[in-house]
Structure 1
Amino acid sequence: MRFSILATVAFASSALAFPSLGSLLSRRTDCLTEAEAKEIVDIYVRLIANYQDADCEKYCADDFVDRSDSINTFIFKPLGEPTFATKKIFMEAQGSNPPFPVVVDAIDAVACEAVALRWHATFGAANLPSRGLTIIGTTKKTGIWQIKSLDVEFNSLIWLLNMGGNYTWEG
């Protein structure tokens, strides 16, 4: 009798500690699928490489933010601050940028609301591949997956050369 009481208590406490299969499955429906993650990456590439206001309006969340110390070095913003703190600021900046090729090398991770990818862009004066990493944060508040945040870092020295700039190494 004593064993059955202990077994019952142990079973009951483990049921509280572990979520049910039903709750796990219902949580999965609110997460990005691999196919949806690929669509988000395709949207990201369009936003960067072939910007159109309509894409940004539809696929960037109202509370969108873009962070990149790599870009901050070019636009003289302090490191660590948001590069484009709002969707409107991002739209203005992207609308004035010329298009450039972005090639996705790999989608390395898909989490419930985030996608990590590696990419490169080869263009301009030096025509060298500048490699980058992007973490795309998403949300589904409007019923469709939207980009809520971008965290982007890339080889800014190569990017500078591609833009026709130069640098001097002082060692």
Structure 2
Amino acid sequence: MHLPLLAALTLTGSSALALAMPSLNPLSLFSARQTAPACLTRAEASEIVDIYVRLISNYKDEDCVKYCAEDFVDRSDSINTFIFRPLGEPTFATKKIFMEAQDANPPFPVVVDSIDAVDCEAVALRWHATFGAAQLPSRGLTIIQTTKREGWWQIKSLDVEFNSLVWLLNMGGNYTWEG
């Protein structure tokens, strides 16, 4: 509101001010401006998990283009140990970097054991992957943060951790325990 208008309203009295101003009820202002955010249904969460599995075990650029948000980020200290990235930093900081990595990597046979939690915009799941030289199941946890853009749910971020020592054995590596 401009200062001259405020001064004029003040001079004309409180009845004019009451007519000129909308209701100052904070709840009515909030509800008029805010709409409830869209929340994932259990069925939509299951679809997002299916997309996640395709991104890891049967990667295709078109899935990533459509179902990963433009501000996508992937974080995994488990993966960071294999690619010599500092722990705590994003593993794949952009959608483009993720796409390049997935395109260059072999697919991993991710099997979803359970979807343990569905929040408004997040899904938590447990999975395992058995492959390679050792054929041992490496168990993992993934938190998928989503956003509803472009008219459908997209993956905004992945937080993934798994048994990296078993993964190492499956890739043909080894380790020595010194304890």
Output the TM-score relative to the length of structure 2: 0.80
* Fraction of identical pairs, as percent: 84
Partner of 1:81: 89
Q: Pairwise mapping of residues 13-28 of structure 1 onto structure 2 (< 5 A)?
A: 27=36
Q: Distance in 1 between matches of 2:77 and 2:131?
A: 21
Q: Distance in 2 between matches of 1:125 and 1:41?
A: 27
SS in 1 for 2:74: strand
Q: Pairwise mapping of residues 1-171 of structure 1 onto structure 2 (< 5 A)?
A: 27=36, 30-171=38-179
Aligned-pair distance for 1:137?
0.3
**What residue ranges of structure 2 are gaps of 5+ in the alignment?**
1-26
Q: Distance in 2 between matches of 1:112 and 1:44?
A: 17
Write out per-residue CA displacement over residues 23-48 of structure 1, whole angstroms, 9 at most, x where no aligned residue. Answer: xxx737x1000000000000000000
Write out per-residue CA displacement over residues 62-82 of structure 1, whole angstroms, 9 at most, x where no aligned residue. Answer: 000000000000000000000
Q: Distance in 2 between matches of 1:48 and 1:93?
A: 11
Q: Distance in 1 between matches of 2:164 and 2:103?
A: 21
Aligned-pair distance for 1:100?
1.8
Which structure is larger by alpha-carbon Rg, 1 or 2? 2
Aligned-pair distance for 1:141?
2.1
Deviant stretches of 4+, over 4 Å? none
SS in 1 for 2:125: strand
SS in 1 for 2:103: helix
The one-letter amino acid paired with 2:152 is I
**Equivalent residues, number:** 151
The one-letter amino acid paired with 1:126 is A
**What residue ranges of structure 1 are gaps of 5+ in the alignment?**
1-15, 21-25
